[in-house]
Structure 1
């Protein structure tokens, strides 16, 4: 066979090789993108888990603040009494022992936890350990240094007094016009992930029918 007859075959082989190279490049790019997406997803999951654990820690700290035991010198156990919420402030307290204590919202108004700014610069919420003496490692605890695998900032919480219309025991229901109102304490806590914009909010209700031992009843 002449050389002229072999040229079309060599040209066709070149096209096939080029097509295979293109296909290999497309597959390689796709695999790289999938790997990046998987890595990003794993990183986001870890960030959310860090924020969730921080929010849970804030709930535990708030429970110690409200119910005790709390041997810290800054403790304020006597302010939490299911029959006396006079220490709670409309719109949430901003200073001293009343910081983060929120009076019940007026009928028709949004509850405090939906309106309060939980930012570190806002004194209406309580930073972890403020009244318990506990500490929680976070990025903002090291002069805003890089947090690494720690939360970007310390978790925070507020405590709302919530009218207990249903009673705690099913056989001790209260009406809306009950002469002696009792209250539950609703804690709303926020935790941050390694990225500050990753946030988890958790809530719990605490029941404390009376004053702590040693407090005025």
Structure 2
């Protein structure tokens, strides 16, 4: 007679295992979701950090590039001041006055580069009578605080606003005729910008009398004898603003114009 299989009742352990299996699977699915969320958040944080690093690097590169442009403009202003002292044009030729532009070669300016010793005293007397001790980019020796470009309070001395005026400082090419290009295609956009006192660049020339014989040195064989005429050394201060608001470069140099001996 055929044997009919009979259902074997599940043991208590087997039933308990079957009842708990769906819960474990549900718990595992919840942990996976949590892990995925954590990974996504970490990825977002990494992407955000990378973008901030890239932005910070771009800012550093941009600031450095703007500083380098202003530095080059300040160097050009120093060279332009040297040419002004030598009485030359930008190409090195003798400065020829321009009837249309009275400033070139200082044709119409009241203050001129001294050529002989007697002119030095007269020039310095006129400059000392000015509130800023400067006029037409020529200055007497600056006393007190030297960094006027950092001063914004008149009670503390001469300010940059006072020095950056058309009758006090000089723009690039103002007295030499050096070209800055066209408005649509300037050679240097910083030097070409004269729209405001805190734009573009300026230079100032301090006229410093040079004492040839101080009477303190006996043996002069190993000293460099400067053949100056007149007996003057110049200290040039050039300042250039960058294209960004907070970029400013200041350069100084001492210039001794030596004459060739006959």
TM-score range, shorter chain: 0.7 to 0.9
Whose RCO is larger (CA < 8 A, sep 6+)? 1
Rounded Cα–Cα distance in structure 2 between residues aligned with 1:190 and 1:143: 13
* 2:100 match: none
Task: Tell me whether 1:42 sits opposite 2:91 in the alignment.
Answer: no
1:41-60 residue pairs with structure 2 within 5 A? 41-60=60-79
1:1-16 residue pairs with structure 2 within 5 A? 2-16=21-35
Task: Tell me whether 1:62 sits opposite 2:62 in the alignment.
Answer: no
Offset of 1:193 from its aligned partner?
A: 1.2
Moved over 6 A (4+): none
1:26-105 residue pairs with structure 2 within 5 A? 26-70=45-89, 71-73=95-97, 74-76=104-106, 79-81=113-115, 83=117, 84-85=119-120, 86-88=122-124, 89-90=127-128, 91-94=132-135, 99-105=136-142
Q: Which protein has the larger Cα radius of gyration, Structure 1 or Structure 2?
A: 2
Rounded Cα–Cα distance in structure 1 between residues aligned with 2:54 and 2:204: 41
1:114-125 residue pairs with structure 2 within 5 A? 115=158, 117=160, 120-121=164-165, 123-125=167-169
Gaps of 5+ in 2: 1-17, 90-94, 98-103, 150-157, 181-185, 214-221
* 1:194 match: 243
Offset of 1:195 from its aligned partner?
A: 1.6
Give the 3-state SS of the residue equivalent to 2:244 in structure 1: coil
Offset of 1:116 from its aligned partner?
A: 5.0
* 2:253 match: 204
TM-score (norm 1): 0.73
Gaps of 5+ in 1: 145-151, 174-180, 211-217
Q: CA RMSD in A?
A: 3.2
TM-score (norm 2): 0.62
Equivalent pairs, count? 190
